Amino acid sequence: MSGSLFPVSLLDNDFYKFTMQNAVVKHFPYAKARYKFINRGGHSFPKGFDQALKKAIKEMRQLKLDDQERAYLEENCPYLDPTYLDFLKGYRYDPSEVSVIQRGDDLEVTIEGLWYRTILWEVPLMAIISEFYYKMQALRRFADEDIIRITREKILGYEAIDVSVAEFGTRRRHSYQVHKLVVKTLKEEGKRSFIGSSNLHLAHLFNTKPIGTHAHEWFMFHGAKYGFKMANQLALENWTNVYRGDLGIALSDTYTTRFFFQSFDKKFAKLFDGVRHDSGDPIAFAKATIKHYERFKIDPTSKTIVFSDALDPKKVIDIADFCRSRIGMSFGIGTNFTNDVGLPLMNIVIKMTEALPEHEIWTPVVKLSDIREKYTGDPKMIELARSFLHL
């Protein structure tokens, strides 16, 4: 199914997976994690899908960081120290960490192993599942020239309203080819608005900035190790202990934004460059964020909100109209860039489900976003967390 080696690079992954991996290596080298594929959209997978996926997973063990890629990281990511880059140079995917089972048209994928190793699987696996889903059913997408035109129209529209836009679409892209076309077009046409890509390989390929900090799993693990009440505070503290002020956009909604702001005290509010919005009403979030900064006598226009929740041009315009002159803003746009090809979108995720901190026991992890539809985790643990945090 995959033909040549697929994915094409070890760096064909979201940047925050590498920044988190570096932090995990330093803080939690003995921790283990489990992840699970969640088919939110109830998609039916064609016969033989599991075999195609297993073949691609097996091929991934050949991927390795090459000298050019390392040089790019050294030049563009000085906060990734030589020790980590040496580690990444020797890193290889281990297919035995992934289990794939197909029963009829239902697909089960699980991942288990040391957290610093398994952390890299989620994004490329989702990208492969998405690409194979469309290919194996021979679903015809728009022609390349149409994708280029659509992408050009979008980025020129964003330039017209003077906003900064990053591409965040690796996980549920239609295909690598479409993703590559999109980033190339954004780079060529978005001279003022396009600020970079979350995909480290494509950022390198098109000489643009890699964008990203951390994801929900960073906070979810801290909840399993330290308890829900201490999770946000210790996750932020451990992050700053590694990056010392770099990579300063904090993800806010792992245990709801309301609870996050209880931990995001004056120290963190001053140290971090801003926060990322990933669920709930973006305008309500912006209002709460502005109010939080003003409480500490911090000028909100000196800070940035990165909006990244299912954005399209209309949503971006509405958010920009509210935020302009009130608070800094940028936008991370995913599938609206990389899967706007005339086909139904997939609704799939891979999430950490359990963590095993050193010398402890397997503990279910949860995510309590600002909307219930994005809750993930064991239902009993979700209710325990909600009760414990008075949510």
The domain that holds 58 is classified in CATH as 3.20.140.10
The tens digit of pLDDT for each residue in 64-94 reads 999 999 999 999 999 999 999 999 999 999 9
Q: Are residues 39 and 183 in the same domain?
A: no
Counting the structural domains of the chain, the total is 2
The answer to whether residue 205 scores a pLDDT higher than 80 is: yes
At 28 the pLDDT is 98
At 188 the pLDDT is 98
Question: Does the residue 6 lie in any domain?
Answer: no
- pLDDT class for 202, splitting at 50, 70, 90? very high
295: enclosing H helix or E strand = helix 282-295
The answer to whether residue 241 scores a pLDDT higher than 90 is: yes
At 7 the pLDDT is 81
Quote the domain boundaries for residue 377.
15-140+346-388
At 1 the pLDDT is 40
Q: Are residues 176 and 199 in the same domain?
A: yes
Q: How far apart are CA 252 and CA 385, in angstroms?
A: 16
Q: Which of 297, 318, 338 is the last residue of a domain?
A: 338
The answer to whether residue 3 scores a pLDDT higher than 70 is: no
- pLDDT class for 5, splitting at 50, 70, 90? low
Task: List Cβ neighbours of 174 (8 Å cut-off, separation of 6 or more).
Answer: 130, 131, 134, 141, 338, 339, 341, 343
At 197 the pLDDT is 98
At 373 the pLDDT is 87
At 222 the pLDDT is 98
Q: Are residues 129 and 155 in the same domain?
A: no
- pLDDT class for 2, splitting at 50, 70, 90? very low
The tens digit of pLDDT for each residue in 326-347 reads 999 999 999 999 999 999 999 9
| The two three-digit tokens of residue 211, written as one number | 């964008």
The tens digit of pLDDT for each residue in 207-219 reads 999 999 999 999 9
Q: Are residues 86 and 155 in the same domain?
A: no
The answer to whether residue 4 scores a pLDDT higher than 70 is: no
Q: Are residues 206 and 302 in the same domain?
A: yes
Task: List Cβ neighbours of 61 (8 Å cut-off, separation of 6 or more).
Answer: 92, 93, 94, 95
Q: Are residues 184 and 244 in the same domain?
A: yes
Mean pLDDT, the chain, as a whole number? 96
| Phi, psi angles (nearest 5°) of residue 251 | -75, 135
At 349 the pLDDT is 96
The answer to whether residue 156 scores a pLDDT higher than 70 is: yes
The residue-averaged pLDDT of 250-264 equals 97
At 307 the pLDDT is 98
Q: Are residues 179 and 318 in the same domain?
A: yes
| Phi, psi angles (nearest 5°) of residue 106 | -100, 135
User: Could you please report the per-residue DSSP string of 191-222?
Assistant: TTTEEEESBHHHHHHTT--B-----HHHHHHH
Query: For residue 164, what are the CA distances in angstroms to 103, 195, 248, 279, 284?
Result: 44, 6, 17, 20, 21
- pLDDT class for 391, splitting at 50, 70, 90? confident
Question: Does the residue 135 lie in any domain?
Answer: yes
Q: What percent of the chain has pLDDT over 70?
A: 99
